[in-house]
Chain A
Amino acid sequence: NAGVMQNPRHLVRRRGQEARLRCSPMKGHSHVYWYRQLPEEGLKFMVYLQKENIIDESGMPKERFSAEFPKEGPSILRIQQVVRGDSAAYFCASSPPRVGDTQYFGPGTRLTVL
């Protein structure tokens, strides 16, 4: 029973490039969440998605960031024109369809912007 999977685990980009982070939820989970974590800090909510729908994106920066969870395939967090301040660990979590159920986290993608 595989857990939440994220890839790549480490991603290095130069300023101005695009970063694409992928997340495959646990089997049977239809809710996906993205969080960002800076060193020595807690996780900050970014966006909550269900299949083909963005439910809550209140934590997403207004520009350059977007997320999707298509009918088929993994959820994608996309960061355009990355800047150094985007360097962080990005975690994906998933939960079953029941509202308010526990979220289980993936291993994260560590993005470094040079």
Chain B
Amino acid sequence: GENVGLHLPTLSVQEGDNSIINCAYSNSASDYFIWYKQESGKGPQFIIDIRSNMDKRQGQRVTVLLNKTVKHLSLQIAATQPGDSAVYFCAENTVGSASKIIFGSGTRLSIRP
């Protein structure tokens, strides 16, 4: 399953399929991007990050793609599992302000059995 456009709130995916969650960021000066997973009642959990000198980074079952030209970030989850159900946030960090992470509005991923 794949969501298109900005800030689609819910993505429903068949268990075992790949998931693609998209995110657009606004600040061209951002140089560090992070994906967080937040399960109900819990704090955000770091999944994967990427710096602006890269366009792709892979982790375990997850891949992040960065397209700086169009200021677009995506998270790909391979072989989606029930435990992947959560809200996923992309976040960006502003150059010169190491402190401030700016969070996107999030995408809820639900898994169909």
Residues on A lying within 8 angstroms of B by beta carbon are 4, 31, 33, 35, 41-45, 48, 55-56, 58-59, 91, 93, 99-100, 102-108
Contacts and interface: CB of A to CB of B under 8 A. Distances in A.
B70 interface: no
B73 interface: no
A101 to B, nearest CB: 8
Interface of B: 32, 34, 36, 42-46, 49, 89, 93, 97-106
Given A43-B89, A102-B34, A108 B101 contact: no
| Secondary structure of the B contact surface, majority rule | strand
Listed from nearest, the 3 A-B pairs whose CB atoms lie closest are A48-B99, A42-B103, A105-B43
Contacts, number: 52
A56 B99 contact: yes
Given A48-B100, A99-B98, 13 more contacts: A31-B99, A35-B103, A41-B106, A43-B44, A45-B100, A45-B102, A55-B99, A56-B99, A59-B100, A102-B34, A103-B101, A107-B42, A108-B42
Contact of B97 (A56, A91, A105): A56
